[in-house]
Amino acid sequence: MASMEIKRFPDPVLRRKGEDVKSIGKSEKKVLSDMAETMYLKGGVGLAAIQVGIHKNMVVIDIGDGIMKMVNPVILKREGSEVQEEGCLSVPEKCINIKRSKKVVVDYLNEDGQAVRLSAEGLLARVVQHEIDHLFGKLIVDYLSPLKKICNSLTTRRL
Ligand code: NI
């Protein structure tokens, strides 16, 4: 395993859309485990492949319940809404209040290529939405409006 370099805003790489993974082999599994190690090293709770310069639709998440590796995740259903502070490993030392769906249902493939349907709420739902934004080249700074302030925080979780 190896730690990867995380691209930082405003690196244009972060604006490219990811591509769906066609088959999950050794190299995809290696990327997923390197991403997980990188996320843990940086103290994040989520990381998308695009953040390490790989334009594939892969994300890793661990909100404290163990590692989740998601390939080609797609949100099928959303419910409710909630505003919370969010940070991002690619936008260091910044946090922004973002309104997101409270609950989501997401379909993805696990690293063995099996289809998984997950119902997530609270922080997990938020992280899933944040990471899927990355796959579309979207960042937390895109949610800024003149009325919203960027706060500086070292304690906000990085997604
Ligand atoms: Ni992020």
pLDDT at position 20? 98
Sign of CA pseudo-dihedral 37, 49, 8, 2: positive
pTM, two decimals, is 0.93
Mean pLDDT of 130-140: 97
Whether 1 is covered by a domain: the verdict is: no
Query: Residue 110: inside a domain, yes or no?
Result: yes
Give the structural domain span for 138: 12-156
In a domain, 4, yes or no: no
Say whether pLDDT at 149 is over 70. no
Ligand 1 midpoint to CA 134 (Å) = 7
The answer as to whether 7 is a domain residue is no
In a domain, 52, yes or no: yes
Domain membership flag for residue 2: no
Residue 83 sits in a domain whose CATH number is 3.90.45.10
| Domain annotation covers residue 6 | no
- Give the model confidence (pLDDT) of 54-73 as tens digits: 999 999 999 999 999 999 99
What's the rounded Cα separation, in Å, for the pair 64 and 14? 26
* Residues assigned a catalytic role: 131
CA 131 / ligand 1 centre spacing (Å): 6
Question: What is the CA(47)–ligand 1 centre distance, in A?
Answer: 6
Ion ligand 1: residue ranges with CB closer than 5 A: 88, 159
Instruction: Tell me what pLDDT residue 68 has.
Output: 98
**pLDDT bucket at 118, cuts 50 / 70 / 90:** very high
| Number of domains comprising the chain | 1
Task: Write phi, then psi, for 157 (nearest 5 degrees).
Answer: -70, 140
Provide mean pLDDT across the span 111-117.
98
